[in-house]
Amino acid sequence: MGIPIQSTRLTPLSEEQVRTYHKDGYLIIKGGCSNDLIDAFNAHIHSIRSADVIADWAKPRKGKEQASDQDRFSVRLFNPHLHDGFSLQMMKLPVVRGALAQVLGNEACGVQSMYFYKEPGSPGQAAHQDYYYIRNEPNTLTAAWVAMEYTNEENGCLWVIPGTHKLGLLPHGAVKNLQEHEAWTDEVEGIDLTREIPVVLNKGDVLLFDSLLIHSSTRNRSERWRRSYVCHYIRHDSTIEREDLKRKISLV
């Protein structure tokens, strides 16, 4: 006899929290992931990138046979859930599955995962909306940003403009501040970015946010890392346009 899978869906959010999410476009789930689980996952990812021979899917730079020491722990790990069982289970955190169903009105599916290192000195990403990069219909794209350690203004936390998810998709153009942000991304236009506020997270906190919420991150000016595991989800009846993200992952 096999071990039964836990399929009962949690309802971790209060009605007030759901209202806050829809008003502001984001919500912090305090302590959504235990410190023990965070420590185990960080160690697991470290073992993947520190191995003498890195699996092809986990290599920092495509086409490079040998990963440099810097690349090993600076270049994000893209879509590890497609290849690694631990990463897949982290995408399926019961508290995230339950919260997503509450804010989206129905069961969600995973479509993308990214493990970010953000080492000391590394730049952030300019203000943007996730929907600009990941179009889906109907738009239900939602991110769950799990803090792998304490994250504040010093080590490059996220900044958001509450309520901007109600503005719809705004134009995006070239990044303006290359001292602060990576050059390869795009930056939202037509909005007062002085309205951004920092999102300070403790280790294990989960930040849930709408794909149209304007958000950014700043350069890591500390001696600490700012590791995070970020997954994107859509409601089960939505469809992704991008070919590389069409596979829907059940959270059951």
Per-residue pLDDT at 61: 76
Per-residue pLDDT at 66: 67
Q: Give the Cα separation of 242 and 121 in Å (integer).
A: 32
Per-residue pLDDT at 5: 55
Per-residue pLDDT at 3: 52
Per-residue pLDDT at 4: 54
Q: Give the Cα separation of 93 and 252 in Å (integer).
A: 10
pLDDT in tens, the chain (252 residues): 455 555 789 999 999 999 999 999 999 999 999 999 999 999 999 999 999 999 999 999 765 566 787 899 999 999 999 999 999 999 999 999 999 999 999 999 999 999 999 999 999 999 999 999 999 999 999 999 999 999 999 999 999 999 999 999 999 999 999 999 999 999 999 999 999 999 999 999 999 999 999 999 999 999 999 999 999 999 999 999 999 999 999 999
Q: Give the start-to-end residue ranges of the domains of the chain.
A: 15-250
Taking only Cα atoms into account, the Rg of the chain, rounded to an integer number of angstroms, comes to 18
Supply the pTM of this predicted model: 0.95
Per-residue pLDDT at 69: 79
Per-residue pLDDT at 2: 58
Q: Please, are residues 129 and 232 in contact by the beta-carbon 8 Å criterion?
A: no
Q: Give the Cα separation of 204 and 150 in Å (integer).
A: 8
Instruction: Give me the helix-helix angle, 15-24 and 94-104, nearest 10°.
Output: 70
Angle made by CA atoms 35, 219, 57, in degrees to the nearest 5: 60
- Counting runs of H as helices and runs of E as strands, what totals does the chain give? 6, 14
Fold designation for 15-250:
Jelly Rolls (2.60.120)
Phi, psi at 113, each rounded to 5°: -140, 150
Per-residue pLDDT at 186: 97
